[in-house]
């Protein structure tokens, strides 16, 4: 037997021996890999299907809000919050229904839906947006302290000007004039010169500054 033939024979024997010793482990490993691939694909399909169904229910909510169909609105939103709580569509639908309730001056259910939206929003942008809206509703309810708590929950650096203005409004309701003045000043400092809401914030600040200037003038006489 030539050396080459012997080497080939020896290598073949080694391979057969290795397969005999490790064959079961190989088969199990292959089966596990296939199961993982199949399971991952099924999971992806399940997630995609869930998102499609959530989007469909969100469309129902939107149509119901537009038409004022409160029965359909409540049913679709309930389904979203119960069965698709992890989907952004559920948070969007909650905020949409809250907006409808605010339009009817039904602030309590609006606040509850916004609280749900905040609690179930993992994305920073959505969490910030819904926290800001919640603070607005709480302020309209006369719940200045709760509004401040909602503003404190905003991610740092998001909606700075709007949050500062709302903070000023809340502090003013609580009678904390100096703190309110500082909040309005911060809001102005974060607004551009052509910002649509700049005039309103300036007016709020002027209303706090004028009484102070009048008092100072009287004291100097």
For residue range 123-136, list pLDDT tens digits in order: 898 899 999 999 99
pLDDT for 221 equals 44
DSSP 190: T
Give the model confidence (pLDDT) of 136-151 as tens digits.
999 999 999 999 999 9
pLDDT reported for residue 16: 56
The Cα diameter of the chain in Å comes to: 124
Q: Count CB-CB contacts under 10 A for residue 23.
A: 11
Structural contact between residues 164 and 190, judged by C-beta atoms closer than 8 angstroms:
yes
- Residues in the chain predicted with pLDDT less than 70, given as ranges, are 1-51, 210-221
pLDDT at 96: 92
Q: Is 123 buried (19+), middle (13-18) or exposed (0-12) by CB count in 10 A?
A: exposed
Torsion of CA 7, 8, 13, 17, to 10 degrees: 100
For the chain, state the CA radius of gyration.
Answer: 31
pTM: 0.72
pLDDT score at 12 = 53
Count of Cβ atoms closer than 10 Å to residue 21 Cβ: 9
| Cβ atoms < 10 Å from Cβ of 190 | 16
Secondary structure letter of residue 123 according to DSSP = S
Cα dihedral across residues 32, 37, 38, 40: positive or negative = positive
The pLDDT of residue 146: 96
């Amino acid at each position: 037997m030539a050396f080459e033939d012997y080497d080939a024979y020896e290598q073949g024997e080694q391979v057969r021996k290795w397969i005999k010793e490790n064959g079961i482990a190989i088969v199990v490993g292959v089966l596990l890999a296939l199961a993982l691939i199949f399971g991952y694909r099924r999971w992806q399909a399940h997630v995609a299907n869930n998102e499609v169904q959530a989007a469909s229910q969100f469309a129902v909510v939107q149509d119901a809000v537009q038409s004022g169909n409160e029965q359909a609105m409540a049913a679709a939103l309930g389904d979203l919050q119960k069965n698709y709580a992890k989907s952004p569509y559920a948070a969007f639908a909650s905020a949409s229904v809250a907006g409808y309730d605010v339009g009817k001056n039904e602030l309590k259910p609006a606040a509850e839906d916004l609280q749900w939206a905040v609690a179930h929003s993992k994305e920073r942008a959505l969490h910030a947006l819904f926290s800001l809206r919640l603070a607005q509703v709480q302020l309209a309810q006369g719940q200045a302290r709760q509004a401040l708590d909602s503003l404190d929950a905003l991610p740092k650096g998001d909606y700075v000007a709007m949050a500062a203005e709302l903070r000023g409004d809340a502090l003013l309701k609580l009678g904390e004039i100096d703190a309110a003045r500082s909040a309005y000043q911060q809001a102005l400092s974060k607004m551009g010169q052509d910002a649509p809401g700049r005039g309103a914030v300036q007016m709020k600040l002027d209303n706090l500054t004028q009484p102070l200037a009048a008092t100072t003038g009287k004291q100097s006489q």
